[in-house]
Structure 1
Amino acid sequence: MIKCGVVGLGDMGSGLAKNLIAKGLQTAGFDLSEQRMNAFTEMGGQAAQGPADVGRQVDVVFVMVMTGDQAKAVILGDGLASTLQPGSVVILSATIRAAEAREIADGLAGSGIDLIDSPVSGGFPGAQGGTLTMMAAGSDAAMEKARPAMEAVSKTIHKVGTEPGMGQTVKACLQSLIGGVFSATFEAAVLAAKAGVPGQVLYDVVSTSSGGSIAANTALEKIIDRQFVGTGSQISTMHKDLTISLDLARELGVPLFTATAAMQLFQAGKTKYPEGDNWIVTRVLEEIVGAELKR
């Protein structure tokens, strides 16, 4: 049985670790937060002293950090690459720029360590519930070796390519769509509030109509219950993801009108409420019109 690791034990990484352990996979982990490390050991994980220490103990390791610079620091140099054995697999589950994923792959060249570029979708509920969607780009051999770990945390694994960066590219396309859906939902919620439509009525109609979706339904639920903080969907993450989508679009010369508008709404929410979650953008709009949507 393979030995697994997780570097980055926040809202998403803690879910990965939880489900790996639940499947009976020996799991080592590291996070800079002492509180997160304590929670990890309480669930049965093996605490490591740093990324290199994780690498000494595992065959397959998930990297779930926030930025490309963090991912490079964790994996390359004196990080995981310094201790992982040839034949080991790094699963880059963080969302970063495609070019950064390629830089990491270049840094691992010749080491015998395989990289699977596989950002995920499903957010906090998917991570904690083991139902994430994975967008995986890697060799057949690496995918086969890592499959028990990937199946422990994911309900749906899509192989989107073999080259590093393809997973991140697909994720950038997906996030441009999700950002637009969220933004349209926030605006619809504020329109309903100003018009005097009860939140429960709007939710019931949207969630059973062609306008409903997991993203829209989740956003509306959080809005009408006034749950704007601590839901596991921190606004900084979506802001970062939309930045990646728009940067890719600029590189390729693709106009993204809707995603650009979404980015400005998320920028407003992040500036006004930096500790809030995605849905807090609605509060910015509600404050403009002087109405709130409640259940």
Structure 2
Amino acid sequence: MLRAGVIGLGDMGSGLAKNLIKNGFATTGLDLSEDRMSAFAAMGGILAPSVAEVGANADAVYVMVMNGAQAKAVILGDNGLISHMTKGGAVVLTATIKPSEAREIATAMEGSGVHLIDSPVSGGFPGAQSGALTMMAAGEPSVLDTYKPVMEAVSKTIHRVGAQAGDGQVVKSCLQTLIGSIFGATFEAAALAAKAGVSGQVLFDVFSTSGAGCGVSNTALENIIDRKFEGTGSGIGTMHKDLTISLDMAEEIGVPLFMASTAMQIFHQGKTKYPEGDNWVCTRVMEEIVGAELHRQKRKDT
């Protein structure tokens, strides 16, 4: 059986590791946090002291870091993965980074004998932890075939979106423009309802059973009306970063993004006021402006 590795054991990476182990893959992992490493060991993971050690003990390594600079350091650095992985192995780039950065990594990997699967994911913390992520995989068909079992262990759906590095990141950028825009509209609707005196439960019941209801808006609204603005596994910094990537790509190729641009400003205000909050904390900023809060049930003073 193929051996797996995971670099980055946060909300998303810990879910990857959990499901790889659950599906019988010997999994080596690394994170800068001692607490995350301890949790990984407790679930049956093999601790590694360095990136090099992960590479030397895995046929396929998931890279779930925050940005392109970190991905480049992990994959291409002096003691990066390509210097220590067995030829024929694969780096599965699940981090969301700029398409241009994914292409730069692929170019630098040429001649190393190690393959790159560019496969950002969607599904957030719940999807990662339950092994139900959607993967947007780009790579050579034969490589995707070889490493399909490792990818199936962490996902519910694998879309083959292209053969070139960067193709996966492009699709993810398009997806995030939509998700970010839906979030922004939901936050505004929640603030409007709060000021008008509508109960959160009524709003959720109507929205979730209407044509506008979807997993994105339903999850956002439930967290808002239950006042869960931290610790839900959807840190605002990630969406803020993803929208930045989408808008940068749009600027590069000359595409106007009106809705995503507005959503970016909404996330920017939330991140500025509550940098440790989750996505839904943007609504809290709006509520502070209008002087009303949306709770599941109306409070007696409203």
Q: TM-score, normalised by structure 1?
A: 0.99
* Counterpart in the other structure of 2:276: 275
* Counterpart in the other structure of 1:8: 8
d(CA) in 1 for partners of 2:196, 2:246: 34
Q: 1:142: how far off?
A: 1.2
Q: 1:20: how far off?
A: 0.3
* Counterpart in the other structure of 1:284: 285
Deviations 1:13-34 (A, max 9, x none): 0000000000011100000111
Q: Secondary structure at the match of 2:147?
A: helix
Pairing 1:66–2:48 present: no
Q: Secondary structure at the match of 2:280?
A: helix
* Counterpart in the other structure of 1:203: 204
* Counterpart in the other structure of 2:233: 232
Instruction: Give the fraction of aligned pairs with identical amino acids, expressed as a percent.
Output: 67
d(CA) in 2 for partners of 1:271, 1:284: 10
5+ residue gaps, structure 1, are none
Q: 1:50: how far off?
A: 1.3
Deviations 1:97-138 (A, max 9, x none): 000001110111001101000000000000001000000000
Task: Spell out the pairing of 1:120-159 with structure 2 (5 A cutoff).
Answer: 120-159=121-160
d(CA) in 2 for partners of 1:140, 1:166: 14
d(CA) in 2 for partners of 1:9, 1:17: 8
d(CA) in 2 for partners of 1:23, 1:138: 23
Pairing 1:19–2:19 present: yes
* Counterpart in the other structure of 2:166: 165
Q: 1:72: how far off?
A: 0.3
Count of paired positions: 295
5+ residue gaps, structure 2, are 297-302
d(CA) in 1 for partners of 2:179, 2:76: 31
Q: 1:140: how far off?
A: 1.2
* Counterpart in the other structure of 2:261: 260
* Counterpart in the other structure of 1:85: 86
Pairing 1:294–2:295 present: yes
Q: 1:263: how far off?
A: 0.3
- Compare 140-149 and 40-49 and name the one that shifted more: 140-149
d(CA) in 2 for partners of 1:194, 1:34: 44
Deviations 1:152-207 (A, max 9, x none): 00000000000000000000000000000000000001111111110000001101
Moved over 2 A (4+): none
Deviations 1:62-104 (A, max 9, x none): 0000000000000013211110011001000000000000111
Q: 1:141: how far off?
A: 1.5
* Counterpart in the other structure of 2:246: 245
Structure 1 letter corresponding to 2:17: A
* Counterpart in the other structure of 2:300: none
